[in-house]
Every structure is written in C-alpha cells, then in structure tokens.
Structure 1
Amino acid sequence: MVFRVGNPVFSPDGKRIAYRAKQRERWFAVTDDRAGPEFDRIGSPVFSPDGQHLTYWAKQDKREFIVLDDQKGPAFDGVGFPIFGPDTSKVAYRAREGNQWFVVRGDERGPHDDIGYYTLPESGRGSDIVDVVFSPDGRQLAYAARRGQQWFIVRDGRSGPAFEHVGLPVFGPDGRQLAYRARRNDREFIQSGEHQGPEFDFVGAPVFNPDGRDIAYWARQGKTEFIMHPVPAPPVLNSDRSRQPCTDPAAGRGSCARCHARAFP
C-alpha cells in the first residue's frame, strides 16, 4: 500500500506521467505506473525536453546523488537540482564534497565555496534557487559561484568579475549575450559582460527582447519604481503596481500625476 504521493508531472509531449511515492518509509518514483528504485528520500521527477528520460535528486545513507533513468549517479555530500542540456540523455547539477562545490557536467568540476543563485534578500523579490542555466542552444552553461565573500558568474568554466552578490544569469536569445543583476557597496545594477549599468537601490532580473538587442528590467530608487529600457520613451508604471504601461496621455517621459512611478530618462 502506498501511504504518500507527490504531485504528478507530465512529459513535454504529454504522453508520459511521473510522480514520487512513499511506502514503508521508502521513497521511489513512479513512471507510467512503473515503480523505480527505493531510497531514503527523493525530489520531484523531471522529464527531459524530448520526454524520453527522467531524472531526480535522491538521498541514501546520508549521501546525495542524481538518478537518471533509474540509474544512480555518483554520491556526494550534497547535490543540487538536475537540469537537462542539449544531450537529453545527460544532466548538469551542482555537487559538494566537504566544503567544496563544483558543477557536474562531463569533466567540468570547478571548485568554489558555493554554487547557485540566491535571491537578493533585501529586494524581497522571492526566494528561488537556480543552480545552473543552459543557453538557449544548449551549448553553454552558466551559474553563480562564491569564493570567500565574493560572488561571480561562471560561464563555460570562465569566471566573471566579483561582486558582493549576483543574481540569476540570463542568456540572450542567440546565447551570445549574458546579463545578470549584481550588488556592490549596497547598490544594485545590471552587469552584461564587462559593462555595468546604472546603480539603484534594487533591480530585478534582466529580460532580453526577441532579437537580443535590448535589455529591460525593473528598478527602484527610494519609493519610486520604474522600468529601465534603452528606448527613448520607456513606459510609466501604474500606481496599482501592476507594472502595466500608464495610459495617461499627459505622462510622457516625466512624472505622471496618477502614478507613484515616473519614466526614467
């Protein structure tokens, strides 16, 4: 008898379904009504983009590892959440032995004190953790890492400039550009390559437009919130904080009488 089950997940093509279940203090994944190997604990199952493979985090005898298609991977003191790359039969994830973290992806294992993206706490923009990120074409891998008190972005094994903290790395549509939020001296900004954007109290994650030529992001200075965008007339935000463009025709590029935010020149 199964005593507990987790939320089900469908494969991208909708042809398969998987979920985790617990019986007699042992956890296992159920895929298409077939039970997998049992462990002390497991995470939520994840299908590959083509729906042919399934992976999840697992723990046994105080050691953690990734299970791919019912096959247990190497065990470590700790591992992060797995993600599929361009080769859907392989996954990438962070792992820890002792105090050293590294990314497991083929032969790449660059030691750092910590790996992963942690939301900047003062901005109050959530608490998501993303360990590693693939570029849209799947050829590049990026992640946030820490050595000592300094955080930086690692892109295909190469470390970028160091900051007090960094956010989630975001690839442009063609995979050539990479941008992320960063903090130095309690000021936040968007970093893209070696270019640093203007500083604010807080900034949000950057987004690329479809052709990859422009970046937009949320920012706050004092009590004013606005959208930064490299077009001549960026949108003004409504006072209901819905982040929809202001419809007041008198708003223009200056302050809007009906909005708490203003357009940033």
Structure 2
Amino acid sequence: MRCRVMVIPLVMLLLLANGYAQKVEEGKAIRLSTKEVPLGKIHPIIEESFVVSPDGKRFAYVAKRGKKELVVVDGEEGKKYDEVWGPIFSPDSKRFAYKARRGNKWLVVVDGEEGKEYDEVWGPIFSP
C-alpha cells in the first residue's frame, strides 16, 4: 500500500484569512479586519506527492477519488488512473509530467497528453 492519505486544504495552508490586528492598551477597543478566501475543492492527497515548480509559481499533487488516483495541477484535475507516480515539473516550470497505471499497463503523461502504454515505465525526467 502506498502511504497514508491525508486531507490538506491546500489553499487554506497558503491563505487562511487575510487579516490584521493592532497592539492596544488594556480596555481599549480595536477593529479587526478579515477577508473571506474561497477554498475551492478539497482533495484527499498522497502526502509525499506534493511538488512545487522550480519558479515557485505552480504546484501539483496526486489525489485519491475512491479507488482511483489523479493529478491536480494548479488546482485543475487530470484524468483518473489506477495509480499515479513521480509528478515533476520541467526546469523552466512550463511543462509537467508523471507516470500512471491503467490496469496492468503504464504510460507517461506530459502536459495532460498520454503517451503509449507499456508493461513497465520508469518515472519521467526533464533534461535541463
């Protein structure tokens, strides 16, 4: 079995609320200001699958939905597979790839496009 699955509301980790407070004397009133931040969908994710692009502007992770797994890139869900491994961004952060299993065949997915199916595939790697 892969690792345990945990629910991480990703956006909540990044921005729970945009608020501030001031230091005041005892007994004085202060005004707090908060901003509501929509969290969007919350996915149960495979904890060690979370990756951030080299430029720090993009993110991806493997999520579980029932017995299937899928990759979420920048908040957008990809196709469902039986198993997903090795999410990786290219060095320039423009491309994204991972390997996936459908039944007993493996394939590499690059920028959402599926490659050919094989009996075995090792994780994708981008050249510098």
Q: Same fold (TM over 0.5)?
A: yes
Report if the CA contact (8 A) 1:182-1:191 is conserved: yes
1:157 alignment partner AA: G
Identity of aligned residues (%): 33
2:104 matched residue in structure 1: 186
Q: Following superposition of structure 1 onto structure 2, how do residues 97-176 of structure 1 map, counting pairs within 5 Å?
A: 101-103=8-10, 104-107=13-16, 108=39, 110-112=41-43, 114-116=44-46, 130-176=48-94
Report if the CA contact (8 A) 2:6-2:46 is conserved: no
Report if the CA contact (8 A) 1:144-1:168 is conserved: no
Quote the offset at 1:141 in angstroms: 0.9
Quote the offset at 1:109 in angstroms: 6.3
Greater CA drift, 196-205 or 137-146: 196-205
Higher relative contact order (CA 8 A, sep 6+): 2
CA separation of 1:188 and 1:95: change in aligned 2, threshold 3 A: closer
1:207 to 116, 125, 128: 125
Quote the offset at 1:95 in angstroms: 5.3
* TM-score scaled by length of structure 1: 0.35
CA-to-aligned-CA distance 1:3-22 (integer Å, 9 cap, x gap): xxxxxxxxxxxxxxxxxxxx
Q: Which has the larger radius of gyration?
A: 1
Q: Following superposition of structure 1 onto structure 2, how do residues 225-264 of structure 1 map, counting pairs within 5 Å?
A: none
Structure 2: stretches of 5+ with no match in the other structure: 17-38
* Larger helix share, 1 or 2: 2
Question: How many residue pairs get matched?
Answer: 101
* TM-score scaled by length of structure 2: 0.69
The separation in 2 between residues aligned to 1:186 and 1:131, in whole angstroms, is 22
Quote the offset at 1:106 in angstroms: 2.4
